[in-house]
A and B are shown apart, each in its own frame.
Chain A
Amino acid sequence: EAGVAQSPRYKIIEKRQSVAFWCNPISGHATLYWYQQILGQGPKLLIQFQNNGVVDDSQLPKDRFSAERLKGVDSTLKIQPAKLEDSAVYLCASSSLRSGKAKNIQYFGAGTRLSVL
């Protein structure tokens, strides 16, 4: 099966600019996650979607970050305006919460490496 697709792979912007990341989850996965991974740290959840609804966005800096999953499939994560501390790898993951062997296993994309100058 095709994995989680993310684009772009790399992005370099200046502070105060805007940037958007795109994610296409594994077909049939209702749950989609965006994580931020700062160098030297583990991934930190930003937002969790179940279909097109938000389940958890408690750690999303809502003054500058936004995310949507309009049709319950693809998702975009936007930062506007970017700050230096937003430099990180942004990971998208998807999972199926249905019963079965793959329940609650998250499958990750390759990530987008963002550098804010």
Chain B
Amino acid sequence: AQRVTQPEKLLSVFKGAPVELKCNYSYSGSPELFWYVQYSRQRLQLLLRHISRESIKGFTADLNKGETSFHLKKPFAQEEDSAMYYCALSAGGTSYGKLTFGQGTILTVHP
């Protein structure tokens, strides 16, 4: 069975500081990893996925299969980045499409 762990429930940084939200996973196959974000009073939405290899809103995430990690990084945090962030894993085979979420990290960016 797959599992996603986000070790930090809360993360606070100041505007302009670098930020890293940690995500570790356990899965024996080749997963697809996602970061979803929920801003205040908005619905859960995709931020980025590892297969796209894109930078979205200045955020990047690299899949490290050796360390089974998919940490989310941004070099200079902005106040509008304050939100709840979820790391999620989609397995293959008959479970394709099914997302397993971590517990989430609340990011607060102070002015």
Residues of A at under 8 Å CB distance from B? 3, 31, 33, 40-45, 48, 55-56, 91, 93, 95, 97, 104-111
Contact = CB atoms under 8 A, between A and B. Distances in A.
B101 interface: yes
A108 B44 contact: yes
Interface in B37-83: 43-46, 49
Contacts, number: 54
A45 B98 contact: yes
Contacts of A105: 46, 49
* Interface band, chain B: 20 to 34
Nearest to A97: B97
Contacts of B95: 56
Contact of B101 (A31, A43, A110, A111): A43
Contacts of B102: 42
Contact of B45 (A42, A45, A108, A111): A108
A108 B43 contact: yes
Nearest to B32: A104
B43 A45 contact: no
18 contacts: A41-B103, A42-B104, A43-B86, A43-B101, A45-B99, A45-B100, A48-B97, A48-B98, A56-B94, A95-B97, A97-B97, A104-B32, A104-B97, A106-B46, A106-B99, A108-B43, A108-B44, A110-B43
A77 B45 CA distance: 22
Given A97-B97, A104-B96, A105-B46, 8 more contacts: A40-B103, A43-B44, A93-B44, A104-B32, A104-B97, A105-B49, A106-B99, A109-B43
Instruction: Give 4 closest A-B pairs by Cβ, nearest first.
Output: A42-B101, A108-B44, A110-B43, A108-B43
